[in-house]
Amino acid sequence: MSSVLSMSSNIYLDEQNKSIFIFANYKDYIDCNEIYKQIKQELKLQESLEELQSYTPSLFRFHSSHRLI
């Protein structure tokens, strides 16, 4: 499951392994509120954050001159 944060930033949710992967350019603005809203929508979370806290987040930032393979 995935959703786009911006033209160059993406978030991928692995529900089976309870992982969140965020890929962004080095100079991208990371809006935590937007990330939370998208994750909550994708996972259909209730008001409680307990389920979200069971996920492991990872943030990958890279320079536009480098390619992520």
Q: pLDDT tens-digit profile of 16-54?
A: 999 999 888 877 778 888 888 888 888 777 666 778 888
Domain presence at residue 34 = yes
pTM of the model: 0.69
Of the ranges 30-34, 50-54, 56-60, 61-65, which one carries the lowest mean pLDDT score? Answer: 61-65
Total domains in the fold of the chain: 1
Domain presence at residue 45 = yes
Domain presence at residue 68 = no
Contact 35, 63 (CB under 8 A): no
Tokens of 54: 């069971």
Whose tokens are 């944060």? That residue is: 5
- The torsion angles phi and psi of 20, rounded to 5 degrees, stand at -125, 125
Strand order in the sheet with 10-14: 2-4, 10-14, 19-25, 56-62
Contact 58, 68 (CB under 8 A): no
Domain presence at residue 13 = yes
